[in-house]
Structure 1
């Protein structure tokens, strides 16, 4: 069957072809009433915009790419969801890929994403050091990095949180509740944010003249992390509190505590990292460090659009550092 044309959509909706084009491309704002008429006409005719042809005509690719270490991780998935919403509002399509926390996969994914000739890329590195594939983007397309990056050495715009301050917030709360025997459950200390969270925690504990706590690495896999911390807890004197530095290490810790029949908020205190609905829906809700996920995504998107519009690519990179907050609930028991 012949595909309906933009002119047929315009005629049925009783608008100009320019209005139809603006509705689907997002180049110019269209009021809600006209937009609804165009969408209804398009649905009735079965019309779909040929984005490739449109981009060739405009000589501008309305595609951005997003690369994350693991799309199943709730934090990364939330970032992707926020970016997709922002891209849609500005008339962009989004291509998403996951590196599965492996540099060779990251390089392959970057090559595949670049084949789309994107207007720009937003990436979360898979390792503590930027790979050659990521560094090569400097002269290829506007790029913004999020989360797993050192803001002091990145050759791209970055959006991160003040991880040191976040570590301080969590441990100060535990100290105020009387805890001095604290276990820090990290994921991978090669990641700059994780090191900074540990450093912030240690600074607060040193200032309070508390003996340096144990720090263990659980990795980025829930099951393997649960095994590691279960073994540690079974073979060491039990701490009075645990600070888990990511949402995955939080889940690993909870799995281990359930295996050892240890009740959170009664037998042991816990501060989690990231804050999701399930944390407050538990019988013992979790005290958590909340990252401003929406603000992280919004700032990254804003930076990328600025680079795309100015065609400055990645010169004079700028760092945006946001603040996390402490959400107090019932998983921290006062022992004073």
Structure 2
């Protein structure tokens, strides 16, 4: 089956007996083109099924109207909700988004960032892959277009960032568990080279120290924060000579994994064991028992990230200097059945 040839401005010009330049000027509303000709061009364009190449037009003006959005995975509701808020906010500002997933791979992350540049995006909003330990590729990209990081950031990267107060979130989680009578609190954390997880580990340690509680080395585990990680780590912790009586996880996924193991082994939750997650994923209010967690204000993160990149572009196009900004949101403890004893 042959494909229909795409209509061009040359076809419109030939149909009307005018020059392609006149057609182009009619589309752009040039004052030297009469209203009669403009109407004829628009009517012919519709008749012939002409579709203008807005990207090419934008590039000729030095603007593509595109923003690249890079996340570890859209299967996680946290990132899905952030993307929704980003897309809606950017759409109101006249921008479109290109979405890519790193799948927590440094190699894929680097490739997608380069792909964004080839697609001539005007800016990039990203959350760092767990495998990323160097900021070099972000520094290289940041020298070409504005970059905004959200949630997972890199400490050494001097770009605008939108985060929650991860340290405070950990302190709130541990304070809550201690207030409920738990004394042996373990932490299923993310990798410490990623800034939010470093801060959550720091807050966990400091909160336990504040309450004069020990942090045995085996109580602190770092992982990719999957359900499987939560299950495996929970099994290891329960097999210790002195197992913990509570888990604070840096994500809701391992918290859920830990919950399933505890239920399989017959633990009463929250009577014998407490669980706190982080992110307030939708399923945490649907499982039994429901899971206490930290609300990250996900939609606000997306909104602020989008506004940040647009603000930078506005400064750039008006020749103004832009100083990177950091927006820090306050996490909220959502108390549910997993700790409410």
Q: What interval of TM-score do these two structures reach, taking the shorter chain for normalisation?
A: 0.7 to 0.9
- Superposed CA RMSD: 3.2
User: TM-score, normalized by length of structure 2?
Assistant: 0.79
2:89 & 2:241 partners in 1: Cα distance?
Answer: 47
Structure 2 CA distance for partners of 1:84 and 1:313, relative to 1, 3 Å = farther
8 Å contact from structure 1 (residues 307, 313) kept in 2:
no
Q: Name the structure 1 match of 2:43.
A: none
1:276 & 1:169 partners in 2: Cα distance?
Answer: 18
What's the offset of the Cα at 1:172?
A: 0.6
1:178 & 1:300 partners in 2: Cα distance?
Answer: 39
8 Å contact from structure 1 (residues 144, 300) kept in 2:
yes
Q: Name the structure 2 match of 1:189.
A: 192
Tell me which of 164, 178, 183 is aligned to 1:180. 183
Structure 2 CA distance for partners of 1:202 and 1:224, relative to 1, 3 Å = closer
Deviations 1:6-31 (A, max 9, x none): 9xxxxxxxxxxxxx99xxxxxxxxxx
| Unmatched runs of 5 consecutive residues or more in structure 2 | 10-26, 29-45
8 Å contact from structure 1 (residues 182, 243) kept in 2:
yes
8 Å contact from structure 1 (residues 139, 314) kept in 2:
no
2:278 & 2:259 partners in 1: Cα distance?
Answer: 13
User: TM-score, normalized by length of structure 1?
Assistant: 0.80
Q: Name the structure 2 match of 1:234.
A: 239
8 Å contact from structure 2 (residues 229, 254) kept in 1:
no
Structure 2 CA distance for partners of 1:268 and 1:290, relative to 1, 3 Å = same
1:89 & 1:285 partners in 2: Cα distance?
Answer: 37
Tell me which of 213, 220, 236 is aligned to 1:215. 220
What's the offset of the Cα at 1:323?
A: 0.8
Counterparts of 1:136-151 in structure 2, within 5 Å, are 136-150=140-154
8 Å contact from structure 1 (residues 166, 325) kept in 2:
yes
8 Å contact from structure 1 (residues 187, 194) kept in 2:
yes
Q: Secondary structure at the match of 1:144?
A: strand
Deviations 1:195-228 (A, max 9, x none): 2112112212211111225211232333244223
Deviations 1:174-200 (A, max 9, x none): 111111111111132222211211211
The aligned length equals 304
What's the offset of the Cα at 1:44?
A: 12
8 Å contact from structure 2 (residues 237, 243) kept in 1:
no
Q: Secondary structure at the match of 2:258?
A: helix
Structure 2 CA distance for partners of 1:44 and 1:144, relative to 1, 3 Å = farther
Q: Name the structure 2 match of 1:14.
A: none
Deviations 1:82-119 (A, max 9, x none): 21222222222111111221212211111112111101
Moved over 4 A (4+): 1-6, 43-49, 312-315
Deviations 1:116-160 (A, max 9, x none): 110100111214644321110121001111122245x32211111
What's the offset of the Cα at 1:46?
A: 7.8
Aligned pair 1:327/2:334, yes or no?
A: yes
8 Å contact from structure 2 (residues 190, 225) kept in 1:
yes
| Unmatched runs of 5 consecutive residues or more in structure 1 | 7-19, 22-42
What's the offset of the Cα at 1:247?
A: 2.3
The higher radius of gyration belongs to: 2
What's the offset of the Cα at 1:60?
A: 1.3
Q: Name the structure 1 match of 2:18.
A: none
Q: Name the structure 2 match of 1:300.
A: 305
